[in-house]
Structure 1
Amino acid sequence: MSHIAVERNRRKQMNEHLKVLRSLTPCFYIKKSDQASIIGGAIEFIKELHQILQSLESKKKRKSLSPSPVPSPRPIQLTPLPISPGTKNLKELGACCNSPVADVEAKISGSNVVLKVLSRRNRGQITKIVAVLEKFSFEVLHLNISSMEDTVLYSFVIKIGLECQLSVEELALEVQQSFT
């Protein structure tokens, strides 16, 4: 088999795998149809799935350790997000706010904020979160809702309004407090 034929088969196989990868990744994660965007989007999606898996495992562990079905109240903890390796000396501004009721992560991405909320499914909770965002002059650009059994992940992309005076830490706390 010639080098040209081998290379043609390799490209054909790569394109087939990229089509499958694109079909398995939600369109929100893939902004363009080029190879790098498809792979980058799939990586982000896998990271998010991994985060959900870790959270579910920790909740399962807490549930098995705790004899009572109601989690014991503890203060809300606010932690800064680590700088990700791909940011090339740019500090990624963000905050996590975790409690037994919900885990909230907010980080600035350009002129937008990416807000992720992982919690138990609560009727009307999405309305409360959107009300908090609108109260502080945020505009919801995109919302993705993923659920598994009684757990739900809300992923928002929100635009920062000109009148907004809230830091990401304060935003995470405000969204966290909408659960009480």
Structure 2
Amino acid sequence: MHHISVERNRRKKMNEHLRALRSLMPCFYVKRGDQASIIGGAIEYIKELQLLLHSLEAKKQRKGVTGLGACCNSSVADVEAKIMGSNVILRVLSKRAPGQVVKVITVLERHAFEILHLSISSMEDTVLYSYYMKVLI
């Protein structure tokens, strides 16, 4: 009989914790009320909060640190880079080319940059890539 009451208390405690966890998340992170959906939604919510935290930390660091910058204008592209601590902002303005962004990301990752955010703006045949990165070394 003791085992049954211990198991009942464990399930009761687990359900209380799941209700508390669900109440801490925006409703659209939990599609259904089952345990797996609640835990899966919590994982996704935590990942998004971590991204937001990284972004806010980087923004704070940009405001507090004066960085180095460089520009390069050529017939292929106009490039601007700003370095602030371990963060780098890279802007590339060039003509649109198929597969261009994938090639640039591959090279950047090969050279120990972690891309935190990428913004792409285009008009006709011109495109502006704005990379926000962290130096991993």
The TM-score range, normalised by the shorter chain, is 0.5 to 0.7
Paired residues of 1:25 and 1:42 also in contact (CA < 8 A): yes
Q: Which amino acid aligns with 1:19?
A: R
Query: For residues 63 and 79 of structure 1, what CA distance do their matches in structure 2 show?
Result: 26
Query: For residues 75 and 50 of structure 1, what CA distance do their matches in structure 2 show?
Result: 24
Give the corresponding residue for 1:53.
53
> Is the aligned partner of 1:28 residue 2:31?
no
Following superposition, the deviation at residue 174 of structure 1 comes to 3.4
> Is the aligned partner of 1:37 residue 2:37?
yes
Deviations 1:25-80 (A, max 9, x none): 1111111110000000001001100111011111111211128xxxx684158647
Q: Which amino acid aligns with 1:34?
A: D
Structure 1 or 2, whichever has the larger Rg, is: 2
Q: Which amino acid aligns with 1:40?
A: G
Aligned residues: 88
Q: Which amino acid aligns with 1:173?
A: I
1:174 equivalent among 121, 125, 129: 121
The answer for unaligned runs of 5 or more in structure 1 is 81-95, 105-171
The answer for unaligned runs of 5 or more in structure 2 is 68-81, 83-88, 93-100, 107-113, 129-137
Give the corresponding residue for 1:152.
none
Give the corresponding residue for 1:4.
4
> Is the aligned partner of 1:75 residue 2:114?
no
TM-score by length of 1: 0.41
Query: For residues 64 and 53 of structure 1, what CA distance do their matches in structure 2 show?
Result: 16
Query: For residues 105 and 43 of structure 2, what CA distance do their matches in structure 1 show?
Result: 24
SS in structure 1 opposite 2:120?
Answer: helix
Q: Percent identity?
A: 54
Give the corresponding residue for 1:63.
63
Aligned-residue Cα RMSD (Å) equals 3.2
Q: Which structure has greater helix proportion?
A: 2
TM-score by length of 2: 0.53
Give the corresponding residue for 1:162.
none
Deviations 1:112-168 (A, max 9, x none): xxxxxxxxxxxxxxxxxxxxxxxxxxxxxxxxxxxxxxxxxxxxxxxxxxxxxxxxx
Query: For residues 74 and 15 of structure 1, what CA distance do their matches in structure 2 show?
Result: 48
Query: For residues 49 and 97 of structure 1, what CA distance do their matches in structure 2 show?
Result: 17
Query: For residues 6 and 50 of structure 2, what CA distance do their matches in structure 1 show?
Result: 36
SS in structure 1 opposite 2:32?
Answer: coil
The 1:13/1:37 distance shift into structure 2, 3 A limit, reads: same
